[in-house]
Amino acid sequence: MKQTKFNKNWIAVIPAVILYDPKLTDKDKIVYSVISNLTHEKGYCWASNAYIADLLSCAPLTISRSVSNLNKRGYVKNSVEKNKEGTLRKIYLGLSNLNNGVIKNDKRVSQKSITNNITNNIVDNNINNISNELLCWINQEYKRKFSILNKNKLKQRLKTFGIEKIKTAVANAYADEYHIKNNFKYLTPEYFLRSDENLDKWLNVKKEKNERTTSKFKKPTASSYAENISKELGW
Question: Residue 63 belongs to a domain with what CATH number?
Answer: 1.10.10.10
- The total domain count for the chain is 2
pLDDT digits (tens, 9 = 90+) for 51-61: 999 999 999 99
Looking at the fold, whether 22 and 71 belong to one and the same domain comes out as: yes
Q: How high is the mean pLDDT of the chain?
A: 78
pTM passes above 0.85: no
Q: Which of these, 60, 30, 62, lies nearest to 48 by C-alpha position?
A: 60
Spatial separation of the C-alpha atoms in residues 31 and 73, rounded to whole Å: 14
Question: Which residues touch 64 (CB under 8 Å, ≥6 apart)?
Answer: 49
Last residue of a domain, one of 44, 79, 97: 97
Looking at the fold, whether 155 and 72 belong to one and the same domain comes out as: no
Q: What is the domain extent for residue 23?
A: 16-97
Spatial separation of the C-alpha atoms in residues 46 and 81, rounded to whole Å: 11
Residue 134 is assigned to a structural domain of this protein = yes
Looking at the fold, whether 81 and 170 belong to one and the same domain comes out as: no
pLDDT digits (tens, 9 = 90+) for 102-125: 434 444 445 555 445 544 554 556
The listed range with the strongest mean pLDDT (34-48, 79-93, 163-177) is 163-177
Does position 2 have pLDDT exceeding 50, yes or no?
no
